[in-house]
Amino acid sequence: MLHRRSFTVAATLGAAASIAVPLWVRAQAKLEKPKISIAVGGKAAFYYLPLTISEQLGYFKAEGLEVEISDFAGGARALQAVVGGSADVCSGAYEHTINLQAKNQVFQAFVLQGRAPQIAIGVSTKNMAGYAGIADLKGKKIGVSAPGSSTNMVANLVLSRGGLKASDVSFIGVGVAAGALTALRSGQIDAISNTDPVMTMLEQKGDVKIISDTRTLKGTQEVFGGPMPAACLYAPAEFVHKHPNTCQALANAIVHGLKWLQTAGPGDIIKTVPETYLLGDRALYLASFDKVREAIATDGIVPAEGPKTALAAIASFDPTVKADKIDLAKTYTNDFARRAKERFKA
């Protein structure tokens, strides 16, 4: 009898302890898929800095995740890896979820890394010294991270507002690192749409004249007419539905990284990112970081007006995307980011 009673008390205490344990701790112990592969298009770019920080500081491991990150030349290539099944989750631009839905594929963003695209467009001061306006780009070669990527999308938008179609220019994939610098400086391309640190490095050395800039919230408002969600983690909606604890762990790690970035100094960034990300120039790398700092998300939550801004922008130049046929509610969820924000709000 005593033995049975002891067991009952123990069970009761165990149940009470279980109730007292925060939900995220219990979820952590029941990850549906602890080994996760993430595809990213240009990991060295500041656009994906939160991903790198969360990886380098061990925040994914702290959530019980074993994350393998595969780096591709641009977001479109990274997306192909997820669509093809060789990666589970994409660290890429939010607008891809809209483009995919237009093709009857439902993907969902579940934690935001960037609240501005951080993409600038510049024309070569060597190849296009007499540049006067968008019309001058007709017939020219424009470097983008990879065709179909976010850098390509921003270029399409700027071209359309200047009266040109995407078919009026040639887009060439140059990546987001040293290859992009070389392509512009060697004259292989006439203009470039890219992220930092590449754009700041070209700008400060006088290699380009900036003609459009979304590295700041003000610049993003001018180009897009509203807040434009940028880098995020997104996956097939079915994956998010079947792996809620895993997606929560991923969101936790990213939001933890975003929180660290809010107070990190330049020296902290230099110590944390791989040396190769600096592209051989520490000072310019840090100057680039200062430019894009405000574009980094603060809490992982997609702003309410952001998806509408993205849809309006894409529909304005892409006839295959019909705004009235897109259900924006299916393209993102803030549930995971809200829980992560609550956990790290101290």
Average pLDDT of the chain to the nearest whole number: 91
Q: Whole-angstrom Cα distance, residue 317 to residue 292?
A: 26
Q: Whole-angstrom Cα distance, residue 253 to residue 22?
A: 16
282-312 pLDDT, tens digit per residue, is 998 998 898 899 999 999 999 999 999 999 9
Is the confidence at residue 108, as pLDDT, over 50? yes
Q: Whole-angstrom Cα distance, residue 75 to residue 71?
A: 9
Beta-bridged to residue 109, according to DSSP, are 234, 332
51-72 pLDDT, tens digit per residue, is 999 999 999 999 999 999 999 9
Q: Whole-angstrom Cα distance, residue 312 to residue 296?
A: 22
**What is 67-84 written as a DSSP string?**
EEEEEESSHHHHHHHHHT
Strand order in the sheet with 107-112: 66-72, 35-41, 89-93, 231-236, 107-112
pLDDT category of residue 33 using cuts at 50, 70 and 90: very high
**Residue 30, CA distances (Å) to 67, 99, 148, 250, 275 in order:** 16, 33, 37, 14, 36
Tell me the backbone φ, ψ of residue 262, rounded to 5 degrees: -65, -30
Residue 141 CB contacts under 8 Å (≥ 6 apart), including other chains: 169, 170, 171, 172, 188, 189, 190, 191
Residue 238 CB contacts under 8 Å (≥ 6 apart), including other chains: 106
Is the confidence at residue 11, as pLDDT, over 70? no
179-229 pLDDT, tens digit per residue, is 999 999 999 999 999 999 999 999 999 999 999 999 999 999 999 999 999
Q: Whole-angstrom Cα distance, residue 85 to residue 108?
A: 16
Is the confidence at residue 119, as pLDDT, over 60? yes
Q: Whole-angstrom Cα distance, residue 168 to residue 158?
A: 13
pLDDT category of residue 29 using cuts at 50, 70 and 90: low
